[in-house]
């Protein structure tokens, strides 16, 4: 009998993990709001702001220590009525090429104010017609505009393969794909986004026709969060308009919608970094929150963040410096929102409430090919010395592994690092009260079994409001002295696919095939319409929420596994304890076995080789479960197996991933 979703009527397990995360988040949101309401002066506000800025710097792994030569090159110019478009390439880091279009007025005289335009998630990036329209209207109002291709968009596809002559990873999915590789090293994809924007401002400041005291930033959606990165990290930004992005974490969490890697800031909820903070970290400088009424970045959260931002600006006696502009429509930089943004920048930088309004005929976007800075269309194809983000990030791997190994000279130190990284729920020594909801005798007839098996379906709470469980199996008439807690990627119900392994394990004793929270029979119901285990699906979304809470899902699942050991020891006092796992689940088995001194044997089948391999490979097989931020600063799987192989029996096998060779 399958109990998936409702635990056979005993509990609504399909809802428990999302609700658990929501409860944790609500308590943090309430605390943070109360803390903000206590801020009564500029000094207390700035102390909080400094703390949040330090958090962001830690999150991304710090900024590069030195600014290397930009080596800027203009590869072409388009002359248009009242302005020109320069096609400019520069290097934010050695080999990291940035492609951009610089719109410069040809009417009037400089130095001109300038706006850095950060592109959202449109593949064409700076060449997207909807973005060109913003740039054209700004430049026709006397402002230079630098439209920048973000990594993985426009001419900067990081998954471009020179041999194949095409991109192997889908454009904005690269933000999450590359982001995972950065995260494993305790870094963040935002380090590249942020540094690109800082160097873009550096480039503007090299131009005599640009006024360095009047530089602004804007962008919508993914460009909205890039605008926020610039607001946080570059003091030269004098005015900013992040669009169709500002909401609140509380409101957005409830939508069930995922976000790309650059938007997932590990520990953000724990640290108190909410969307209103994105705005107020810029105080008291002028900021416009651009929004649309029917955005999936909920307008309710936008309105709340706006009110909180006004309160912070009031401390500086600059409440009028924070503005909300709301256009009709859905998620886009539409015509109405564009006019709002242009008028606001004209007021900030030109000192007038009378912007030049252009007719549709006067705003004519260029063809994508006309705006290209490279002849090939991709920097990784154009420049022999071009370096991908993966290659640049992987340079940090050897030093990280060396420090990780040097700081852990013995198993106890490794154990401490594992526990510290997992951030498990508080230890629970309370007795377990199981529900044995199904018992059956599996006869040996018609099977490969030499004797009958006794099977029980067991449920229990690993902590309040978190039900877990599995299938307890032992041979009829045996008196075993060992219990093996077994974890499978398919969940405990997949045990029938592992008959031969089950026979092997039960020869030594009992087996408790176990499902931690959110897996197997306790898998969450879908919170969005994406494929459950795919990038941006339910497992990804819940994992991201947990990461922002500073409580990663792996820690919760290892905690549940240790509670399964508690149950096994409680059920059969004095039993020897083993852990076994197959596939990704073998990682949970390994970590639980390391942390629990009662375990003397760990059996691992098809355990992933290492986290370092993911960082080191240009192209790897993505799995949402690998988003383990900073794990390589603490441990990796080979080091743990080597260190604890001297204390516990650790058996490792790599077998064909087809169960009993043929599943039937």
CATH code, domain carrying 213? 3.40.50.1820
Per residue in 415-452, pLDDT (tens digit) is 999 999 999 998 888 899 999 998 888 765 445 455 67
**Residue 48 domain-assigned (yes or no):** no
Task: State the burial class of residue 9 (Cβ atoms within 10 Å of its Cβ: 0-12, 13-18, 19+).
Answer: exposed
pLDDT interval class at 2 (50, 70, 90): low
Closest by CA position to 288, among listed 327, 315, 328: 327
Structure token pair of residue 612: 């370092």
The pLDDT of residue 1 is above 50? no
**Residue 70 domain-assigned (yes or no):** yes
The pLDDT of residue 119 is above 60? yes
Residue 452's alpha-carbon distances to 474, 486, 510, in angstroms, are: 9, 20, 13
Q: Does 384 share its domain with 341? A: yes
- State the Cα–Cα distance between residues 332 and 223, nearest whole angstrom: 11
Q: Does 189 share its domain with 232? A: yes
Q: How many domains are there within the chain?
A: 2
**Residue 450 domain-assigned (yes or no):** yes
Mean pLDDT of 98-121: 97
**Residue 321 domain-assigned (yes or no):** yes
**Residue 47 domain-assigned (yes or no):** no
- State the Cα–Cα distance between residues 72 and 576, nearest whole angstrom: 67
Partners of 515 in the β-ladder: 469
Q: Does 416 share its domain with 387? A: no
**Residue 13 domain-assigned (yes or no):** no
Q: Does 365 share its domain with 432? A: no
- State the Cα–Cα distance between residues 461 and 21, nearest whole angstrom: 16
Cα 325 to chain centroid distance, Å, stands at 29
Q: Does 526 share its domain with 583? A: yes
Q: Does 634 share its domain with 558? A: yes
With H, G, I as helix, E, B as strand and everything else as coil, classify residue 567.
Answer: helix
pLDDT the model gives residue 561: 99
- Domain housing 455: 411-653
Task: State pTM to two decimals.
Answer: 0.95
pLDDT the model gives residue 499: 84
**Residue 20 domain-assigned (yes or no):** no
Per residue in 473-514, pLDDT (tens digit) is 998 877 788 999 999 999 999 998 888 898 889 888 999 999
> End of a domain among 371, 395, 419?
395
Q: Does 73 share its domain with 197? A: yes
Q: Does 421 share its domain with 386? A: no
Partners of 466 in the β-ladder: 463
Per residue in 588-635, pLDDT (tens digit) is 999 999 999 999 999 999 999 999 999 999 999 999 999 999 999 999
pLDDT interval class at 663 (50, 70, 90): very low
**Residue 52 domain-assigned (yes or no):** no
Q: Does 329 share its domain with 427? A: no
Mean pLDDT value across the chain: 94
Percent of the chain with pLDDT over 70: 97
Q: Does 368 share its domain with 457? A: no
> End of a domain among 365, 395, 425?
395
pLDDT the model gives residue 256: 94
> End of a domain among 338, 360, 395?
395
Q: Does 383 share its domain with 431? A: no
Q: Does 571 share its domain with 608? A: yes
């Amino acid at each position: 009998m399958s109990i998936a979703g409702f635990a056979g009527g005993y509990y609504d397990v399909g809802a428990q993990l999302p609700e658990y995360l929501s409860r944790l988040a609500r308590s943090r949101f309430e605390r943070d709001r109360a803390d903000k309401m206590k801020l009564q002066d500029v000094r207390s506000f700035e102390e909080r702001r400094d703390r949040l800025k330090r958090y962001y710097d830690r999150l991304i792994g710090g900024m590069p220590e030195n600014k290397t030569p930009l080596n800027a090159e203009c590869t072409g110019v388009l002359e248009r009525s009242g302005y020109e478009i320069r096609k400019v390439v520069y290097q934010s880091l050695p080999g990291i090429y940035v492609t951009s279009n610089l719109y410069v007025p040809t009417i009037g005289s400089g130095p001109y104010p300038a706006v850095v335009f950060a592109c959202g998630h449109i593949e064409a990036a700076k060449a997207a017609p909807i973005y060109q329209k913003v740039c054209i209207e700004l430049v026709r109002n006397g402002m230079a505009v630098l439209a920048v291709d973000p990594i993985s968009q426009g001419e900067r596809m990081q998954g471009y393969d020179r041999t194949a002559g095409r991109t192997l990873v889908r454009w904005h999915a690269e933000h999450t794909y590359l982001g995972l590789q950065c995260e494993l090293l305790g870094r963040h994809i935002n380090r590249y986004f942020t540094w690109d924007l800082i160097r873009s401002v550096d480039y503007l400041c090299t131009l005599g026709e640009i006024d360095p005291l009047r530089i602004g930033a804007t962008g919508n959606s993914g460009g909205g969060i890039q605008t926020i990165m610039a607001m946080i990290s570059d003091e030269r930004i004098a005015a900013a308009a992040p669009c169709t992005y500002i909401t609140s974490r509380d409101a957005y969490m409830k939508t069930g919608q995922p976000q790309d890697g650059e938007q997932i800031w590990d520990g953000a909820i724990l640290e108190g970094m909410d969307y209103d903070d994105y705005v107020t970290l810029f105080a008291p400088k002028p900021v416009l929150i651009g929004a649309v009424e029917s955005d999936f970045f909920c307008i309710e959260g936008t309105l709340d963040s706006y009110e909180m931002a006004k309160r912070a600006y009031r401390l500086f006696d600059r409440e009028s410096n924070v503005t909300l502009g709301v256009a009709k429509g859905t998620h886009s930089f539409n015509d109405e929102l564009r006019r709002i943004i242009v008028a606001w920048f004209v007021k900030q930088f030109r000192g007038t409430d009378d912007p030049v309004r252009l007719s549709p005929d006067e705003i004519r976007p260029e063809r994508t090919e006309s705006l290209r800075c490279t002849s090939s269309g991709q920097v990784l194809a154009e420049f022999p010395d071009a370096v991908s983000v993966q290659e640049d990030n992987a340079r940090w791997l050897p030093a990280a592994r060396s420090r990780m190994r040097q700081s852990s000279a013995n198993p106890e130190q490794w154990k401490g690092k594992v526990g510290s990284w997992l951030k498990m729920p508080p230890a629970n020594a309370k007795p377990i009260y199981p529900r044995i909801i199904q018992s059956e005798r599996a006869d040996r007839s018609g099977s490969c079994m030499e004797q009958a098996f006794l099977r029980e379906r067991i449920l229990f709470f690993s902590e309040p409001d978190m039900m877990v469980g599995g299938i307890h199996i032992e041979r009829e008439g045996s008196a075993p002295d060992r219990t093996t807690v077994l974890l499978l990627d398919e969940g405990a119900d997949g045990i029938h696919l592992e008959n031969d392994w089950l026979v092997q394990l039960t020869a030594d004793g009992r087996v408790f095939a176990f499902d931690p929270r959110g897996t197997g029979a306790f898998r969450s119901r879908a919170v969005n319409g994406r494929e459950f285990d795919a990038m941006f699906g339910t497992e990804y979304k819940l994992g991201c929420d947990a990461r922002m809470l500073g409580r990663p899902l792996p820690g919760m699942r290892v905690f549940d596994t240790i509670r399964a050991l508690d149950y096994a020891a409680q059920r059969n006092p004095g039993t020897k304890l083993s852990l076994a796992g197959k596939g990704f689940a073998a990682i949970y088995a390994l970590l639980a076995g390391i942390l629990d001194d009662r375990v003397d044997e760990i059996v691992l089948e098809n355990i992933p080789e290492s986290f370092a391999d993911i960082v080191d490979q240009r192209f790897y097989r993505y799995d949402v479960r690998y988003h383990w931020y900073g794990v390589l600063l603490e441990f990796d799987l080979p080091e743990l197996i080597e260190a604890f192989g001297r204390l516990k029996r650790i058996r490792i096998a790599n077998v064909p991933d087809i169960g009993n060779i043929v599943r039937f």
